[in-house]
Amino acid sequence: MNSGSDVAANLAAAEAGLREARAQGAHFAVLPENFALMADSKESRLRHAETDDGGPIQDAIARVSRALSLWVVAGTIALRSCDPARVRSACLVFNDRGERVARYDKIHLFDVDLGPSERYAESDAFEAGDTAVTVATPWGRLGLAICYDLRFPELFRALLDAGAEIVAVPAAFTVPTGAAHWEVLVRARAIENSSYVVASAQSGRHDNGRATYGHSLIVDPWGTVLAERGEGPGIVTARIDQASVAAVRRRLPSVMHRRL
């Protein structure tokens, strides 16, 4: 997606993409980080933040997932925290009946200085989570990670230990870090854990001036890229075969050979 500051427009674009994916036979879909709002100010993010009990963004995704009988990993939305000045970056999972079945709060916050014109301090606006999350789906146990989490293999090991066979990674990678590291990190996490990784990304120039890399990927447990979007809004689809996870782990059982 190329989300901006208009929540209604972003939700319409998300629904259109989900409907297109469903028309192509998808039963499980992953939206990117900040799919409903790429905020242009801290005030805008706080204004649109929802409670854990629900809100218009959550209601919209629940309605679409129920209408399409589609499992949806709803990228990230801002949920209110105990700190009135900060929010949680929450990845929510809805089943095909529109029921919310999981919530993961982003653990690793993007506080980096890439140069004079690119500095990010997510901890100024976000409160970090502290718990790895998995959820049972019809296609195997699903683990959740968000964007910068991709650089922390210990989180993916925790998801593996919790039984994850697929990991969804909603993201909004910057252009320089994406060009340098995005594909190799996604493939590495898939190979290390003999798991599928479904990495859905923001792409292009946004209302707030930020540019994101795109290149949404679906990678199988052997590290093969099954599908890639490239740049610009759109969808990619691939078939997930739960048996291939077991086959790779049996054929090259590195996940069983860990010593530490």
Active site residues: 33, 106, 147
CA distance 166 to 137: 10
CA distance 32 to 75: 5
Tell me which residue of 151, 162, 241 sits closest to 199, measured CA to CA. 151
Cβ distance 211 to 175 under 8 Å?
yes
Number of H helices, E strands in the chain: 7, 14
Query: 7-23 vs 56-68: helix axis angle to the nearest 10?
Result: 20
